[in-house]
Structure 1
């Protein structure tokens, strides 16, 4: 009986852990409901007046106080200039593009910190006048 209880506790523990812990997730904002995916996301939109954005989120195993992000690729730099939170909404251009967001340092609420390199890549495709570029 003890072995059965121990086995059940192990199985419950495996399924209750955060599979996204210590990573970066993202989604490309579209007119439909969007879901975060870990490490890589892709999306596009055909609506000509849509203002494209990519959303990046830190997934950490502890509560986070502040994050230092590094961005590369095609994006509008003003939208990332002061991003120190666990979620960053990045304005992107209305064309095909690619960008990467990485967490460089993470500061936890328990007053510890870590140098990390957690990244997510985003690819986005938008159109002008309903035609793919």
Structure 2
């Protein structure tokens, strides 16, 4: 049996009035995801994406372009985001996420909605500081 997954960005595309998103990125198997390396760029092309007020992704795979998404958040001040990465992401990706969390914590001026970023291996103290900044 072949499992066909829809792309996450296609779902958001057909919901132009959506205000809140909570989505689990993995399909029926941990090896199947609705997220590709093009997902973030495709989302950013959607005119209504920046109008989403709350954006929560669960079990995010490594293919999600966190650098581009974080740059979008810093420039657009929205949406309020909670990002929970899948435990299977690589050590290199964990380091990238840690670098982004460090940038958020070290920056005293946040003229954007601070995203809550959770990943396996994140340092509890930093997670607490990030949580405080987000909520």
Give the structure, 1 or 2, with the largest relative contact order (CA under 8 Å, sep 6 or more): 1
TM-score (norm 1): 0.26
Larger radius of gyration: 1
Higher helix share: 2
Higher strand share: 1
